[in-house]
Amino acid sequence: MEVEDGAELCFPQFPNTSCRKPSSSWPQTLLIYIVWFCISLTTVTLNLLIIISISHFRQLHTPTNILLLSLAVSDLLVGLLLMPVEVLRQTSCWFLGDYGCHMYAIVSVIIPSSSIGDIVLISVDRYVAICDPLHYPTKVTARRVQFCVCLCWLCSISYSLLYLKGVPTQPGGYQSCYGACVFFYDNISLTVDLVLTFIVPVSVIVALYLRVFAVAVSQARAMRSHITAVTLQLSVTPKAKKSELKAARTLGVLVVVFLICFCPYYCLAPILLTTSIASIVIPMYYSNSCLNPMIYALFYPWFRKAVKLIVTLQILQRGSCETNML
């Protein structure tokens, strides 16, 4: 590897194999660190509040909220692990070694894959709640949802190990120089990943939500024309149905934001080796983990109430877990 005169190397003792240090000026690097730190801290804080809220208050132990809890855990890990490591990888030399790079690659597949799986499960949950409300309590139970969540994480771990099994772990086996953490995938691997973690899940999500919104519109018209009892077959009260429709709209916003954040990453995956593109697409990809809890704060009154109780330390009082949150 030839190095330009005057270029700073990550490992000066290996001039022929060392990568060059990133050429960004220190003010620019400092600004990047500050922005990433703020986003990471916000992501961790908001998702931690969701995890505490759903875990602590018994009234929030519903099947839908179990799925939101799983999504919050994956979003928390994005802010706690992936964001800090990614900013170091983009702005400085990689000093964590080949093993550290390999582990980062595995984790960076597991966590987003589990998030995508949770979004699919949330879509299925809303589909059953709106399209088959009479059998929803028997079909979607807390135990079944917990099983599906565990299966989702297990599949994400298994997929990451299979997807990355061909990545070399020997020193320098996956990169052209020392001091960088870069993986090169063949077109077949990229295509398989695109299909399994984006095209198929997004197709399922879009199909389910199109059906959900079609049914929601018909039910809203039925309620306005005072024939709710006939249309819904006396399955639920109008008030309960209104709550379900509101939840479907909220989670619909969640899905739209998910698509906006994830689409650029997967559409540009084959050319993400270009640093200028990666520096824009990857932050957008990870920012979804920060936006999700903001959506809850805007649309879920129980989350705002839970945050107030947590911040004021009222959850430390005896019997606080029985607080009415709805």
Q: For the segment 203-231, what is each residue's pLDDT rounded down to a tens digit?
A: 998 888 888 877 777 766 666 665 545 44
pTM (2 decimals)? 0.83
Phi, psi of 24 (to 5 degrees): -65, 145
Its domain, for residue 117, covers 63-299
| 237 inside domain | yes
Percent of the chain topping pLDDT 70: 79
| 13 inside domain | no
| 57 inside domain | no
Residue with tokens 């059998």: 135
CATH classification at residue 149: 1.20.1070.10
Q: Does residue 262 contact residue 198 with C-beta atoms inside 8 Å?
A: yes
Closest CA to 141 of 119, 122, 125: 125
Closest CA to 209 of 263, 258, 261: 258
Minimum mean pLDDT range among 13-27, 107-121, 253-267, 309-323? 13-27
Mean pLDDT, range 280-304, rounded to an integer: 84
Mean pLDDT, range 56-82, rounded to an integer: 93
The rounded distance, in Å, linking the Cα atoms of 262 and 58 is: 33
The rounded distance, in Å, linking the Cα atoms of 312 and 305 is: 11
Furthest CA-CA distance within the chain: 81
Task: Count the neighbouring beta carbons within 10 Å of the beta carbon of residue 158.
Answer: 12
Confidence class of residue 20 from pLDDT cuts 50, 70 and 90?
Answer: confident
Q: Is 259 a residue whose pLDDT tops 70?
A: yes
Closest CA to 212 of 240, 249, 257, 256: 249
- Which is more confident, 191 or 317? 317
| 204 inside domain | yes
Question: Which residues does 157 contact at the CB level (< 8 Å), separation at least 6?
Answer: 110
| 149 inside domain | yes
pLDDT computed for residue 22 by the predictor: 74
- The amino acid at residue 146 is Q
* R_g of the chain computed on alpha carbons: 23
| 139 inside domain | yes
Percent of the chain topping pLDDT 90: 29
Strand partners, 178: 18
Question: Which residues does 267 contact at the CB level (< 8 Å), separation at least 6?
Answer: none
Question: End-to-end alpha-carbon separation of the chain, Å?
Answer: 63
Q: Is 235 a residue whose pLDDT tops 70?
A: no
pLDDT computed for residue 285 by the predictor: 85
- The amino acid at residue 100 is G
How many domains does the chain divide into? 1
The rounded distance, in Å, linking the Cα atoms of 205 and 191 is: 20
| 159 inside domain | yes
Confidence class of residue 272 from pLDDT cuts 50, 70 and 90?
Answer: low
| 38 inside domain | no
Task: Work out the mean pLDDT of the chain and round it to a whole number.
Answer: 80
